[in-house]
């Protein structure tokens, strides 16, 4: 089943399974300090391990939690009905036009060219048609509710490295979709529901935000290139159709465990999983407290995780601590030496919390052999002894078409702590 939301560089859990089996035993504690979407800890949980997930990115931690704990289908259905009866009833007319068959129908998406609507694709009982609108907009749109008014800038004031044409979040949406998304988010926050259901709804909403933006194309996804941008011909998708589709995916997620938010219960054996939104350079774990580490660290400038998460995180009100991000990004003032310095601290923390004689499995990938060699030296410098090196071919979704072969071969290091 496709995941509820795209997360960049997401790897299948199957790549972790043989290593978890080889270097840990049932009931032992496995740590992933760069947890991302949670695929590694999900694989380890299924193999009967206790797990600690950590990621500095709050959006990643939210996604991982929802994908591990799942949702109560009945509670989700009840909440969904309230949402669709609420803001959708108020704003459905914004996406309603008359089909050629004479029936008033909902628009699946509008086709824009530059700043004019050219056509609309209908979801009609007659089978759906493409209706020419000749540049005309629909009825006047009411003032929008509150929406994120942030700009694509780092804390130092520099504009994002991965952006074109747009400077603010509002630039990426039509006024119609800003209105509907803001109303939908407000309704999600105002629902009287349990927090597990609300987390699921927020992840479904975050997925909807990307697809409802002007980055969306008629044939293809929302990330045609590796940045925030608006193609000359783009589509304005109906957010409620998108949201309903995401809710269907969400309802199929099978919960594995109920996570906790501190490591002590997991270390004691009273809980199966801890989800931490924290810095891999400052892990809140005791010395020599985990039996195995398996992780996929961020690699130089390959994926700007925080930038790409910023759009959804801003809608959800999640702070993005760019200053602590381990990345190569000249606009943040972080070169390769800075990246190595920060990553070394994380490797040092991994060495500190791993039990003596146990193994950390570290996945590295970069097409530059010299860069790879430098990263291997960082692992050694943290005090690990590299016992095995293996190259693995993987399939993972990238952003846009930049260097499409990049990242498809992993160098997997099995490193023992003396």
Domain segments of the chain: what residues? 13-63+259-305+319-416, 73-251
Residues 6+ apart with CB under 8 A from 81: none
pLDDT tens profile 320-370: 999 999 999 999 999 999 999 999 999 999 999 999 999 999 999 877 889
Eight-state DSSP code of residue 366: -
- Token reading at 4: 């509820």
Strand order in 409-416's β-sheet? Answer: 273-276, 50-54, 29-32, 290-295, 354-364, 409-416, 385-393
- Evaluate if residue 95 carries a pLDDT over 70: yes
The single residue listed with the structure tokens 């146990």 is 358
Q: Residues 110-128: pLDDT tens digits?
A: 999 988 899 988 887 776 6
At residue 130, the pLDDT reads 84
Look up residue 283 and give its DSSP letter.
-
Residue 219: phi and psi, rounded to 5, are -125, 105
User: Looking at residues 23-28, what average pLDDT do you find?
Assistant: 98
pLDDT band, very low/low/confident/very high, at 401 (cuts 50, 70, 90): very low
Q: What letter would DSSP give residue 262?
A: S
* Residue 68's pLDDT band (cuts 50, 70, 90): very high
Task: Extract the tokens encoding 368.
Answer: 């530059």
Res. 138: pLDDT tops 90: no
Which of 4, 29, 77, 50 lies closest to 292, judged by CA? 29
Predicted pLDDT at 405: 41
pLDDT at residue 407, as a whole number = 46
> pLDDT-based confidence at 315, cuts 50/70/90?
very high
Range scoring the smallest mean pLDDT among 129-143, 209-223, 244-258, 385-399: 129-143
User: What's the pLDDT at 12?
Assistant: 67
The residue ranking higher by pLDDT, 31 or 150, is 31
Q: What pLDDT is stored for residue 143 in this prediction?
A: 65
Percent of the chain with pLDDT over 90: 68
CA proximity to 19, closest of 396, 392, 408, 345: 392
Instruction: Give the CATH superfamily of 13-63+259-305+319-416.
Output: Vaccinia Virus protein VP39 (3.40.50.150)
* pLDDT above 70 for 406: no
pTM of the model: 0.93
> Per-residue pLDDT averaged across 15-26, rounded?
96
Which of 255, 340, 210, 269 has the alpha carbon at shortest distance from 71?
255
Residue 181 CB-half CA count within 13 A:
32
Specify the 3-state DSSP secondary structure of 321.
coil
């Amino acid at each position: 089943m496709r995941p509820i939301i795209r997360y960049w560089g997401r790897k299948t859990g199957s790549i972790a399974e043989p290593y978890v089996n080889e270097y840990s035993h049932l009931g032992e504690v496995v740590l992933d300090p760069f947890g991302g979407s949670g695929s590694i800890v999900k694989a380890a949980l299924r193999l009967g391990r206790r797990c600690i997930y950590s990621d500095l990115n709050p959006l990643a931690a939210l996604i991982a939690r929802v994908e591990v704990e799942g949702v109560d289908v009945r509670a989700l259905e009840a909440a969904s009905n309230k949402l669709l009866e609420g803001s959708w009833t108020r704003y459905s007319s914004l996406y309603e036009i008359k089909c050629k068959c004479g029936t008033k129908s909902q628009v699946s998406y509008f086709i824009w060219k530059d700043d004019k609507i050219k056509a609309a694709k209908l979801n009609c009982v007659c089978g759906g048609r493409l209706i020419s609108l000749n540049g005309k907009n629909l009825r006047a749109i009411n003032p929008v509710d509150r929406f994120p008014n942030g700009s694509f800038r780092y804390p130092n004031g520099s504009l994002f490295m991965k952006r074109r044409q747009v400077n603010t979040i509002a630039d990426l949406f039509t006024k119609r979709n800003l209105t509907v998304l803001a109303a939908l988010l407000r309704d999600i926050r105002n629902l009287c529901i349990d927090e597990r259901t609300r987390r699921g709804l927020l992840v479904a909403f975050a997925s909807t935000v990307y697809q409802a933006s002007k980055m969306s194309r008629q044939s293809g996804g929302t990330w045609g290139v590796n940045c925030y941008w608006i193609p000359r011909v783009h589509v304005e998708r109906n957010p409620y159709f998108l949201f309903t589709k995401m809710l269907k995916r969400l309802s199929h997620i099978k919960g594995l465990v109920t996570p906790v938010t501190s490591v002590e219960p997991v270390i004691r054996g009273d809980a199966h999983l801890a989800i931490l939104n924290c810095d891999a350079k400052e892990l809140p774990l005791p010395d020599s407290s985990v039996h195995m580490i398996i992780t996929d660290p961020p690699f130089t400038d390959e994926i700007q995780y925080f930038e790409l998460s910023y759009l959804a995180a801003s809608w959800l009100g999640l702070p993005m601590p760019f200053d602590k991000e381990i990345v190569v990004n000249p606009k943040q003032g972080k070169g390769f030496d800075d990246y190595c310095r920060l990553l070394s601290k994380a490797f040092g923390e991994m060495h500190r919390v791993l039990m003596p004689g146990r193994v950390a499995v570290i996945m590295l990938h970069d097409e530059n052999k010299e860069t790879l060699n430098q990263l291997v030296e960082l692992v050694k410098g943290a005090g690990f002894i590299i016992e095995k090196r293996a190259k693995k071919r993987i399939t993972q979704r990238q952003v846009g078409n930049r260097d499409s072969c990049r990242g498809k071969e992993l160098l997997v290091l099995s490193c023992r702590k003396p």
